[in-house]
Structure 1
Amino acid sequence: MSDSKITELYQQARLLQKSREIEKAIEIYQRILSTKPAEKKAHVAIATAYFQLQQYPQAIKHFEEMTRLAPMDASPYINMGAIYNRMGEYKQALNVFRKAVQKDKKSADAFYNMGIAHKGLNQLSMAVTAYKQALVFDDKMVDAHFNLGNVYLEMKNHTQAHSSFSRALEISPGFKKAINAMKILDAETVKEKENMSPFGRLVDESALRKKGEIVSTRDLSTEERESDRREIHKLCDEITEITHTIVDDLKKGVNPGLLNLNRCISQGEKHYSELDEAYSTFQKKVKSLNDMRKLLKHRMLELRSHENLINSRGGN
């Protein structure tokens, strides 16, 4: 088949795609590939057509062929990963995006799509890191700013969410999704302020002892006073130990874990293979921190309950 004939077939196929006659366009691309199996342009075009028909496995097949025909090109991997995202196969998508980053360490598209995959797996902190990395390489990627804002909104980080949505609207003032997101964010912020006590948390004291209830203390015997002191000392020692553990976990576990995650992503091919292990380790550190936080809360409640018991009227 002559080059002029192939050019003519491409033109026909593009017109068919434009008029939404996708199946006929695919037939033409198949004709081209039957005579020129290594025609990269045709593989990309037919993969795109299959994607339009939501025939994702066929689209992936042709992008996989592109990885063999153009082994140094990151774009086939990015396209495959985007399709896996669309299929909801986020783990598979991440595997493919890591290969894309190995080919192109500065691909904003690869990191952007990784953000979508991490979000799909509910790995919100990883999604934030991926979107931020995309914006390092393309600060005007409006969808990355918008998606980052949505992740922050889900994490209840309203300040950062507002910043991301604002940046999206700076780039694209008519971006309706960002406008609507700002409205939702403003409504949630107002609700938070309405629910916030003007005196903070310290004045609560069980709603000021049920608004006016007189609180009295009782006289303790020497034995009771000694017992009270032992119990308070015991609880305070446990609380001190737990808080020291939490601080230690933050310094030696969580913070280094975050830095390691960022290193694995930002240094691309050299360290990206370590990302799964780094993230798994980080999750364990966060779980340990949450467990200690719950234990601290429990001990604080025990201390308050003990105080209420001692101060209650009519106690013996």
Structure 2
Amino acid sequence: MTQTSEFQVLCKEARQCWRDGEYQCAVELFEQALEIEEVSETHQHAGMAAYMAGDTENAVKHLIRATHLAPSNSQARINLGAVYNRRKEYKLAIDALRKGLAMDMHCAEGYFNLGMAHRHQNEPKMAIPALREAIRLDPEMADAHVQLAEVYSGQGNYKQAIELAEQALKIKPGFEAAQQILDKAEQGRDTAKASSKNLDWIAGVSPTKLDQGFRELTDEQQVADHRHLVVLAHSIHQIANDVLLQMRRELDPATRQVYRIVSRPEKNPGTLTEAYAAFKRATKSYKILRDRLGVKMQELRDYEESMKENNGE
């Protein structure tokens, strides 16, 4: 048997082991073949067999060698990125994946792994386009839908997260990860709605209407509006925190002191007049903060009204 034919037989046997799920056997046979002849594609196969066998260190070694032997081997770079993801070496994953995708811009799995790496690096602005591209290239990739749903859920965009999780379940019924993110996003949506209603009540304004259409803006207007909303939202958040802090530090203690003096005067020093004066000061402070919060919430409502399309109302 010639070296070439022996190499081919070993690779054939290795591929059969792969199909049978015997990945370590496949690694050993591919490595025997590589002792006869070093081929980039064979290193790539050996690397992925090692990856499937759980030996990510050996997988990295073979995939790096594959890229050295054939710098244009885009799949080896993309596979290397996937292995780095498994090893939680996300910066290395991003570098390998970007190089591989520069050679093959139609690999859905490459974009999926790139999105995963950016997500784990807490870079949602980079993760979102990568995962969207993975879905565009492979609309049936349920994992990409779930990962993108996770990103949106983390941003508080529960509507998009729910839609993506539901789509993943249509693609892959019973998909546990999809069901988990769906439940999480629905819970987040419901909590956000409840918080919004509570904030309106504290601020003393009627609930805002979120189901109206909005006029279209230029990109510059959108940036300016976003900045305005960020500042306004920060103000509302800060004042709301001040309201809660004032209630805990002043209003609640003053109320409790009045109760203690009335219910058990013999064990609580001080007069009711003093307790009432403290309560009155606390309620005055609370009203000032509540009014400030109401003004900011009204600004938010006025902004919303200014954005609505003229629907003849």
TM-score calculated relative to the size of structure 1: 0.61
Structure 2 equivalent of residue 251 of structure 1: 223
Q: Percent identity?
A: 27
Q: Could you tell me which amino acid in structure 2 is paired with residue 82 of structure 1?
A: A
Deviation at 1:122, TM superposition (A): 1.2
Between the aligned partners of 2:68 and 2:29, the Cα distance in structure 1 is 22
Structure 2 equivalent of residue 137 of structure 1: 137
Deviation at 1:60, TM superposition (A): 1.7
Deviation at 1:146, TM superposition (A): 1.5
Do the aligned partners of 2:165 and 2:182 also contact (CA within 8 Å) in 1? yes
Structure 2 equivalent of residue 81 of structure 1: 81
Structure 1 equivalent of residue 296 of structure 2: none
Structure 2 equivalent of residue 26 of structure 1: 27
Q: 1:172 to 1:296 in 2, by over 3 A?
A: closer
Between the aligned partners of 2:93 and 2:74, the Cα distance in structure 1 is 14
**Aligned ranges 1:1-316 → 2 under 5 Å:** 1-17=2-18, 22-37=23-38, 39-197=39-197, 201-205=199-203, 251=223, 294=234, 308=288
Between the aligned partners of 1:191 and 1:173, the Cα distance in structure 2 is 27
Between the aligned partners of 1:301 and 1:248, the Cα distance in structure 2 is 32
Between the aligned partners of 1:78 and 1:48, the Cα distance in structure 2 is 11
**What is the Cα-based RMSD across aligned positions, in Å?**
3.9
Structure 2 equivalent of residue 276 of structure 1: none
Q: 1:187 to 1:23 in 2, by over 3 A?
A: closer
Equivalent residue of 1:204, what SS?
helix
Q: 1:68 to 1:305 in 2, by over 3 A?
A: same
Between the aligned partners of 2:179 and 2:107, the Cα distance in structure 1 is 28
Deviation at 1:292, TM superposition (A): 8.5
Between the aligned partners of 2:241 and 2:168, the Cα distance in structure 1 is 44
Q: Could you tell me which amino acid in structure 1 is paired with residue 176 of structure 2?
A: K
Between the aligned partners of 2:176 and 2:238, the Cα distance in structure 1 is 45
Q: Could you tell me which amino acid in structure 2 is paired with residue 134 of structure 1?
A: A
Equivalenced residues, count: 236
Structure 1: 5+ residue stretches without partners: 208-246, 256-285, 312-316
Between the aligned partners of 1:126 and 1:52, the Cα distance in structure 2 is 28
Equivalent residue of 2:122, what SS?
coil
Q: Residue deviations 1:110-147, cap 9 Å, x none?
A: 21111100111111232112111222322222211111
